[in-house]
Amino acid sequence: MFHPILEVRNLNKAFGGLQAIKDVTFKLLPQEIKGLMGPNGAGKSTIIKVITRVYPFDKDGGEVFFSGVPLSRLKSFQIAGLGIAQTFQIVQLFGSMTAVENVMVGFHRKTKSNFFSDLLALPKIRRQEKDIFHDSLEKLSFVGLEKPFEMAGSLPFGEQRLLEIARALASDPKLLLMDEPAAGMNTQEKLKLANLIYKIRDSGVTILIVEHNMDLLLEVSDEILVLDFGQKIIEGSPEDIKKNELVIKAYLGEGYQSC
């Protein structure tokens, strides 16, 4: 029997008088792809920000566990150190750095250096930098981005999305949180993204994905959690979601057919 890699219990988050998340509970099993679905303001991105402690939740109520470790008192960098990585709704890259340099930044947790070793450029530091460079090239190849020396800011938007995913994977996460990864992508790029999501899952990574593109979400997810006004409406397989009358009326539309 598999134990959950992520467990969210009765989670609440309020901003003043606005209840953004209300008593939400769900689990992710290892190598599961779970989608978060719902209209704008449903609380999807808030859940991701609570998991990563961008938004503290210890005073709002509820618990979040990652591989059995409670996250409520940890800092964001400590949570990243446990093996949680994130891609963002708005791409956050270093535009004046090359693609490979951006990915190298993602390896910072693995570096073993200090001010003096860097200053002296010790042989072990040079070897480490060489290894990180080659590992970064491999991450770019993994996501299908073959432009390592182009400036990140000059890449087409879809390729910037792939670069951000490559940088997130540089930390070798156990759990990847993806916030609107298909935003701004064309049809071909979305197909490529779907295949990449499967590839990441098959490499051993569990995925929690927020996405407004319903066809993509219904295709790649093992299970989908539907939210509205911060509350869970239904959780189930994509087939269950497509047959649910409330979901059809509210989000998919009458006569919905997957493309």
Q: What are the pLDDT digits (tens) for 139-150?
A: 999 999 999 999
Joined tokens for residue 122: 């010790």
Whether residue 2 is predicted with pLDDT greater than 60 in this model: the reply is: yes
pLDDT the model gives residue 110: 62
Whether residue 151 is predicted with pLDDT greater than 80 in this model: the reply is: yes
Residues 19/17/40/56 CA torsion (nearest 10 deg): -60
pLDDT the model gives residue 116: 43
CATH topology for the 1-83+173-259 domain: Rossmann fold (3.40.50)
Q: What is the CA radius of gyration of the chain?
A: 19
Evaluated on CA atoms 259, 206, 81, 59, the torsion sign reads positive
pLDDT the model gives residue 250: 67
> What are the residue boundaries of the structural domains of the chain, listed by start?
1-83+173-259, 93-171
pLDDT the model gives residue 254: 59
pLDDT the model gives residue 200: 98
pLDDT the model gives residue 19: 92
Whether residue 256 is predicted with pLDDT greater than 70 in this model: the reply is: no
pLDDT band of residue 160 (cuts 50, 70, 90) is very high
β-pairing, 33-37 with 63-66?
A: unpaired
Taking the C-alpha atoms of residue 171 and residue 78, their distance in angstroms, rounded to an integer, is 13
pLDDT, tens digit (0-9, with 9 covering 90-100), for 197-242: 999 999 999 999 999 888 999 999 999 999 988 999 999 999 999 8
- The answer for residues whose C-beta is within 8 angstroms of residue 208's C-beta and 6 or more apart is 6, 28, 34, 36, 48, 51, 175, 176, 177, 178
pLDDT the model gives residue 41: 84
Whether residue 249 is predicted with pLDDT greater than 90 in this model: the reply is: no
Residue 36 is inside which H or E element, if any?
Answer: strand 33-37
Coil, helix or strand at residue 83:
coil
Count other C-beta atoms under 10 Å from residue 218's C-beta: 21
- The answer for residues whose C-beta is within 8 angstroms of residue 117's C-beta and 6 or more apart is 124, 125
- The answer for residues whose C-beta is within 8 angstroms of residue 12's C-beta and 6 or more apart is 19, 21, 22, 23, 24, 57, 60, 61, 62
pLDDT, tens digit (0-9, with 9 covering 90-100), for 121-143: 556 667 778 899 999 999 999 99
Q: What are phi and psi of 59, to 5 degrees?
A: -95, -5
Does residue 175 contact residue 205 with C-beta atoms inside 8 Å? yes
pLDDT band of residue 259 (cuts 50, 70, 90) is very low
Taking the C-alpha atoms of residue 124 and residue 35, their distance in angstroms, rounded to an integer, is 43
- Percent of the chain residues topping a pLDDT of 70: 89
pLDDT, tens digit (0-9, with 9 covering 90-100), for 182-205: 988 899 999 999 999 999 999 999
Q: Of 109 and 34, which is predicted with more confidence?
A: 34
- The answer for residues whose C-beta is within 8 angstroms of residue 141's C-beta and 6 or more apart is none
Q: Of 42 and 114, which is predicted with more confidence?
A: 42
Instruction: Please state the rounded mean pLDDT for residues 23-33.
Output: 97
pTM given for the model: 0.88
Instruction: Please state the rounded mean pLDDT for residues 243-252.
Output: 77
Q: What are phi and psi of 151, to 5 degrees?
A: -65, 135
pLDDT band of residue 109 (cuts 50, 70, 90) is low
